[in-house]
């Protein structure tokens, strides 16, 4: 089907024209079609070829194919989707974000409920109960996962072999490995002071106490809590030991791991594609492992999961068609095709994953020794997230007393939660 990338100006014009055309319309009536061409809007413009690749499988499976419109500017995309709800052009299928942003659309009655789809998928063993919780609002489910990525530790296998380092099984093992690497003149970890400034923070907080981590997202825990301060002090100590790479480096992270600028990098499981593109071979030049919990007393090892939803607008004329596609999307056939197209792990444990390392990762985390938690970027309310990313970046660039950084985040959190009362 036809794919088209929408630029900033065109997106704004299209959104405006929809609003004008609507003239106050509350949306179109569902046409009831269960097969045909489904209009699909996404903020993942770069993924258009991957979605188009699925059409052969979905056409055979449920006689539905996607007509994909991809947006390359996130702000314009969000504006377009929100405005479309007030028109008769509400999308039959679109991508969004989990967390508070999705909750807002649910509260406004703009998203179609998918509880029956989730119940079937869980009963079939197609998806975990942990992930179901991410899509639950008021005891009901909305949307389905577009993708899933586990945030794990990638490592340069040649460096580990040369230094005779085994894959760490405990937090102490990981610290010992970092010490050994630094002693050999090798920087243990990658870090950056822009955008992805949160992974190490989320890892250590959740690895200390998952309830502590979740409390930050709900406002029940303050960023100035002594336990959070302690985590930041540990992070500062690690930085002072020289365990992290130059935060301002412009070298591509995958290239940096390949050439040994650092031995490890904490990233989502989609990073395989970048490493493969850099000329590294999965399972030979690089490996991955679940990062051990900071607190060895935890019953299960927490693993950060990033999941972006596929949603159907409640008032879309293609609601039935979108729901039919959503149900198919949860199946092993759909997730096998998606994993092949994206080169990433599938959320459905019954799907076939070609990369042996990704397949093992999915199987491992689906076992009883691990529990997933939502990535900090999605679970944190946007106003707080914006300040937190800036403060973590400043802390990474100039490590010092963590309290002033945390106080700045908490000041924004206090304002946000006060507005929610």
Tens of pLDDT, residue by residue over 297-354, are 999 999 999 999 999 999 999 999 999 999 999 999 999 999 988 888 899 989 999 8
Domain check: are 292 and 403 in the same one?
Answer: yes
Pick the closest to residue 231 from 69, 402, 99, 1 (CA basis).
402
Out of 19-28, 278-287, 312-321, least confident range: 19-28
Domain check: are 336 and 209 in the same one?
Answer: no
Per DSSP, what are the bridge partners of residue 69? 4, 41
Q: Is residue 36 part of a domain?
A: yes
The pLDDT value given to residue 22: 37
Pick the closest to residue 262 from 184, 336, 322 (CA basis).
184
Packed helices 403-420 and 382-397: angle between N→C axes, nearest 10 degrees: 180
Q: 92-124 b/e with 16+ CB inside 10 Å = b?
A: bbbbbbbbbebeebbeeebbbbbeebbeebbee
Highest mean pLDDT among 91-100, 125-134, 258-267, 270-279: 258-267
Assess contact for 233 and 214: CB atoms under 8 A: no
Domain check: are 175 and 99 in the same one?
Answer: no
More confident position, 113 or 20? 113
Whether residue 17 is predicted with pLDDT greater than 60 in this model: the reply is: no
The pLDDT value given to residue 288: 97
Domain check: are 10 and 104 in the same one?
Answer: yes
Assess contact for 326 and 92: CB atoms under 8 A: no
Domain check: are 285 and 324 in the same one?
Answer: no
Domain check: are 110 and 198 in the same one?
Answer: no
Assess contact for 78 and 72: CB atoms under 8 A: no
Domain check: are 155 and 238 in the same one?
Answer: yes
Domain check: are 50 and 107 in the same one?
Answer: yes
Under the banding of pLDDT at 50, 70 and 90, the label for residue 396 is very high
Under the banding of pLDDT at 50, 70 and 90, the label for residue 25 is very low
Cα–Cα distance, 146 to 158 (Å, whole number): 34
CATH of the domain at 157: 3.40.190.10
Assess contact for 307 and 98: CB atoms under 8 A: yes
Residues 234-250 have a mean pLDDT of 96
Domain check: are 189 and 260 in the same one?
Answer: yes
Assess contact for 357 and 284: CB atoms under 8 A: no
Percent of the chain whose predicted confidence (pLDDT) is above 70: 93
Q: Is residue 344 part of a domain?
A: yes
Q: Is residue 23 part of a domain?
A: yes
Q: Which residue's entry shows tokens 């009831």?
A: 32
Q: Going by C-beta distance under 8 Å and a sequence separation of 6 or more, which residues neighbour residue 137?
A: 102, 103, 106, 107
Last residue of a domain, one of 328, 345, 365: 365
Per DSSP, what are the bridge partners of residue 268? 151
Domain check: are 126 and 190 in the same one?
Answer: no
Q: Is residue 136 part of a domain?
A: yes
Whether residue 409 is predicted with pLDDT greater than 90 in this model: the reply is: yes
Residues 383-397 have a mean pLDDT of 97
Q: Is residue 34 part of a domain?
A: yes
Q: Is residue 370 part of a domain?
A: no
Out of 13-22, 29-38, 240-249, 352-361, least confident range: 13-22
Under the banding of pLDDT at 50, 70 and 90, the label for residue 36 is very high
Q: Which residue's entry shows tokens 């947006």?
A: 71
Report helix, strand or coil for 82.
Answer: helix
DSSP 47: G
User: Could you give phi then psi for residue 160, rounded to 5 degrees?
Assistant: -60, -40
Residues 203-221 have a mean pLDDT of 97
Domain check: are 140 and 174 in the same one?
Answer: no
Whether residue 5 is predicted with pLDDT greater than 50 in this model: the reply is: no
Q: How many domains in the chain?
A: 2
The range of the structural domain enclosing residue 181 comes to 150-304+376-420
Domain check: are 169 and 102 in the same one?
Answer: no
Q: Is residue 333 part of a domain?
A: yes
Query: pLDDT tens digit string along 188-202?
Result: 999 999 889 999 999
Under the banding of pLDDT at 50, 70 and 90, the label for residue 13 is very low
The pLDDT value given to residue 28: 64
Q: What is the mean pLDDT of the chain?
A: 91
Whether residue 223 is predicted with pLDDT greater than 60 in this model: the reply is: yes
């Amino acid at each position: 089907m036809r794919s088209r990338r929408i630029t900033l100006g065109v997106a704004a014009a299209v959104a405006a024209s929809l609003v004008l055309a609507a003239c106050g319309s509350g949306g179109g009536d569902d046409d009831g079609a269960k097969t045909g061409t489904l209009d699909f809007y996404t903020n993942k413009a770069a993924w258009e070829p991957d979605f188009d690749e699925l059409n052969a499988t979905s056409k055979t499976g449920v006689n539905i194919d996607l007509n994909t419109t991809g947006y390359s500017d996130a702000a314009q995309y969000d504006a377009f989707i929100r405005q479309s709800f007030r028109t008769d052009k509400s999308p039959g299928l679109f991508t969004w974000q989990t967390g508070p942003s999705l909750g807002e659309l649910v509260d406004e009655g703009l998203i179609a409920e998918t509880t029956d789809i989730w119940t079937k998928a869980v009963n079939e063993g197609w998806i975990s109960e942990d992930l179901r919780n991410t899509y639950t609002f008021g005891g009901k489910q909305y949307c389905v996962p577009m993708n899933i990525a586990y945030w794990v530790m990638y490592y340069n296998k040649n460096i580990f072999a040369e230094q005779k380092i085994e894959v760490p099984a405990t937090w102490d093992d990981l610290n010992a490995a970092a010490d050994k690497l630094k002693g050999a003149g090798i920087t243990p970890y990658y870090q950056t002071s822009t955008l992805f400034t949160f992974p190490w923070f989320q890892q250590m907080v959740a690895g200390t106490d998952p309830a502590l981590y979740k409390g930050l997202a709900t406002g029940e825990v303050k960023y100035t809590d002594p336990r959070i301060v302690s985590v930041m002090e540990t992070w500062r100590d690690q930085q002072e030991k020289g365990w992290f790479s130059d935060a301002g480096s412009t070298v591509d992270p995958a290239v940096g791991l390949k050439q040994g600028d650092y031995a490890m990098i904490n990233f989502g499981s989609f990073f395989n594609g970048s490493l493969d593109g850099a000329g590294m071979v999965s399972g030979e030049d690089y490996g991955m492992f679940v990062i051990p919990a900071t607190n060895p007393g935890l019953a299960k090892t927490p693993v950060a999961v990033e999941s972006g939803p596929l949603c159907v607008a409640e008032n879309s004329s293609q609601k039935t068609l979108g729901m039919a596609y959503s149900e198919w999307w949860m199946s092993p056939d759909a997730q096998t095709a998606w994993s092949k197209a994206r080169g990433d792990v599938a959320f459905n444990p019954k799907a076939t994953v070609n990369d042996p390392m990704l397949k093992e990762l999915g199987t491992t985390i689906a076992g009883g020794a691990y529990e997933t938690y939502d990535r900090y970027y999605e679970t944190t309310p946007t106003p707080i997230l914006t300040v937190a990313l800036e403060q973590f970046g400043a802390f990474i660039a100039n490590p010092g007393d963590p309290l002033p950084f945390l106080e700045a985040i908490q000041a924004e959190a206090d304002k946000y939660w006060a507005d929610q009362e």
